[in-house]
Amino acid sequence: MKANFNRSALAEALGLLTSVVPSRTPKPILRCVQIVAEEKEVRMCATDLEVGINYLISEVQVDKPGEIIVPADRLAAIVRESVDEVLVLESTDTACEIKGADSHYTIYGHEPGQYPIVPDFDGASEIKVPLNNLQAGIEQSLFATARESSRYAINGVLWEFKDKKLLLVATDGRRLARSRVNLAAAPKDKPPENLIVPAKAMSLLDKIGASEKDTVAVKLVDNQILMSCANVVISSNLVEGNFPKYEDIIPTDYDKKLTLSTEATLSAVRRASLLTSEESRGIKLSVQKDKLIFSGRAPETGDAQVDMPISYKGDPIEIGFNPQFLLDVLRVITSPEFELELGQSDRPGLIKSGTTFLYVLMPINLG
């Protein structure tokens, strides 16, 4: 194999591919990328056997077709540090030479033909989503997934199809985020149910460089989801298990409603939480007729109080929340204002932004 790469295109590909490569694995070959040079383009693949990427590079001149399997981190570091516009990759059976104008590296890999097959996207798809829409939805849901949980179903994001809309739902048991995304093409037959996509695959979709016209084509094959956009195909096993019946916990009967400035609330929560500690990991929201008071305290440190003027006509209420969970949601709200709805101090808070996003947050007892 011998190919002349545009260095920045190769660096962009490796930036995405290395985010799939596992840092620890009993199979050393999984720490590598597979590079297959065809007549006019080069295909690069990476997988951890759960999630895979198939990446096509067309900004390349292929002198000799072939295949090489090389350690991803070594190749990525060399390409990242290079100052050349063009890099030449040339391979023998298990070695890859990388040549720049004043540099020459040789790295050792594995024999061709040994790498696991990473699925490609064949044929047409019924489901299509504008990439910009999908990435906006991912940013408003992915943060609420469980990081470590024995309930595997909440380690991913639920995809729920309703008419020409896709609902993305995520929860870690203490909060829930739901974002509504418009589809470019919806399933014609009965839509798939209980489709849970792993957080890692969702994160990869969010990293694809988006142009306004890019569309993601989605296909389900056995227990896998394939997502194709421009020159990238992401494949992933689906999460097994049943997602919680989330609609049951979204409050519908609240009478205390406030419209708040996103930026002002973000600042107030950040400032009020400065004096919280590991033991007192909450801030109190005191809703009064003309102001909303954010307060935090830690017995060994002191107290913080931030006042924000509001217009409110309901009964006063005090409620405690985890400040980090509030900061997380306020950072992903794109509108200048949002609605906060409250019931009793022991019931969850409900945050809404327009008709496309809602967030349910369990209260905490501040004693």
Is the pLDDT at 77 greater than 70? The verdict is yes
Provide the domain count of the chain. 3
Determine, yes or no, domain membership for 119: no
What is the tens place of the pLDDT at every residue in 102-111? 999 999 999 9
* pLDDT, tens only, 188-199: 888 888 799 999
- pLDDT band of residue 83 (cuts 50, 70, 90) is very high
The pLDDT of residue 28 is above 90:
yes
Cα–Cα nearest to 159, from 188, 116, 201: 201
302 and 348 in a single domain? The answer is yes
Q: Which of 217, 246, 275 is the last residue of a domain?
A: 246
* Residue range(s) defining the domain that contains residue 68: 2-108
The β-bridge partners of 15 are none
Q: Are 43 and 55 in contact (CB under 8 A)?
A: yes
Mean pLDDT, the chain, integer: 93
Average pLDDT over residues 96-104: 95
Same domain, residue pair 261 and 235: no
Q: What pLDDT is attached to residue 280?
A: 67
Predicted confidence at residue 167, as pLDDT, reads: 97
**238 to each of 19, 101, 247, 332, how far by Cα in Å?**
18, 45, 22, 25
What is the C-alpha separation between 292 and 258, in angstroms, rounded? Answer: 10
CATH number of the domain that residue 292 is part of: 3.10.150.10
In the chain, % of residues over pLDDT 70: 98
Q: Which of 79, 108, 137 is the last residue of a domain?
A: 108
pLDDT confidence of residue 209 = 79
Sheet holding 127-130, edge to edge: 66-71, 32-37, 42-47, 51-57, 232-237, 224-229, 215-221, 127-130
Q: Check whether residue 133 and residue 241 sit in a common domain.
A: yes
**277 has a pLDDT exceeding 90:** no
Choosing from 219, 246, 273, the residue where a domain stops is 246
Helical spans, DSSP H, in the chain: 7-17, 72-81, 131-139, 199-207, 262-272, 323-332
Instruction: Please indicate, yes or no, whether residues 87 and 146 belong to a single structural domain of this protein.
Output: no
